[in-house]
Chain A
């Protein structure tokens, strides 16, 4: 099993550009989520999904969209990048929702100039 994979590893965007961060898992987990990690702060939940076709907002959803068309994939879209979105983004999946062990991807380091 590859676990949770994320692409790209690094990305630089200009303000106003859009892009999609990819996340995939091969463990047949229903629960998937996106976090951002900033220096001096804990991981903050952006969006999450409890299964295909179902998504919900987390703590910091503004400026991000998600969709869940399959169990395996959970892409995160930045609609119009802003410098405040410079961060490291982690995708995670879990067999039993938020109560279960979260399996994190390797992260995407995004810089918006």
Chain B
């Protein structure tokens, strides 16, 4: 059973519009949650990291939120650009565990 579930699996948005990606996890004990951006044909690159005590963190037009009680995170993309077309992967770390739990990714396509 995948410990990290992401939705929607894919979405198409118009350039300039906003979108929100969801991540639900069951990983325990929770250490941190990261969102990675993966461009086609490239390796993932970290966008944000959220720890237990953090509710919101921004990186430019990307804003991540975390609700540790409900075990949910979201990634909001503001004023989308064509370069935002990518897969966004939610990754959760557990304390005392050398393995990460990866979501399958949200595939975002931004069209002009």
**Which residues on A are within 8 Å of B, measured CB to CB?**
4, 40-45, 48, 50, 56, 58-59, 90, 92, 97-99, 101-102, 104-107
Q: Are B34 and A101 in contact, CB atoms less than 8 angstroms apart? A: yes
Least Cβ distance of B93 to chain A in Å? 5
| Bound-state Cα–Cα, A101 to B41, Å | 20
| Bound-state Cα–Cα, A106 to B44, Å | 8
Q: Are B31 and A107 in contact, CB atoms less than 8 angstroms apart? A: no
- Which size class do B's interface residues fall under? 20 to 34
| Bound-state Cα–Cα, A56 to B97, Å | 12
| Bound-state Cα–Cα, A5 to B2, Å | 29
| Bound-state Cα–Cα, A50 to B32, Å | 19
**Which residues on B are within 8 Å of A, measured CB to CB?**
2, 4, 31-32, 34, 36, 41-46, 49, 89, 91, 93, 95, 97-100, 102-105
Give B42's nearest chain A residue, CB to CB. A106
| Bound-state Cα–Cα, A90 to B36, Å | 14
> Which A residues touch B93, using CB under 8 A?
98-99
Q: Are A56 and B98 in contact, CB atoms less than 8 angstroms apart? A: yes
Least Cβ distance of B28 to chain A in Å? 15
**What 4 pairs between A and B have smallest CB-CB spacing?**
A104-B43, A42-B102, A43-B102, A42-B104
| Bound-state Cα–Cα, A97 to B95, Å | 11
> Which B residues touch A107, using CB under 8 A?
41-43
Least Cβ distance of A91 to chain B in Å? 8
> Which A residues touch B97, using CB under 8 A?
98
Task: Report 23 cross-chain contacts, Cβ distance below 8 Å, ordered by A residue.
Answer: A40-B104, A41-B104, A42-B105, A43-B89, A43-B102, A45-B100, A48-B99, A56-B98, A58-B99, A90-B43, A90-B44, A92-B43, A97-B98, A98-B97, A99-B31, A99-B93, A102-B36, A104-B43, A104-B44, A106-B42, A107-B41, A107-B42, A107-B43
> Which A residues touch B43, using CB under 8 A?
4, 90, 92, 104-107
| Bound-state Cα–Cα, A9 to B46, Å | 22
| Bound-state Cα–Cα, A104 to B87, Å | 15
Least Cβ distance of B78 to chain A in Å? 23
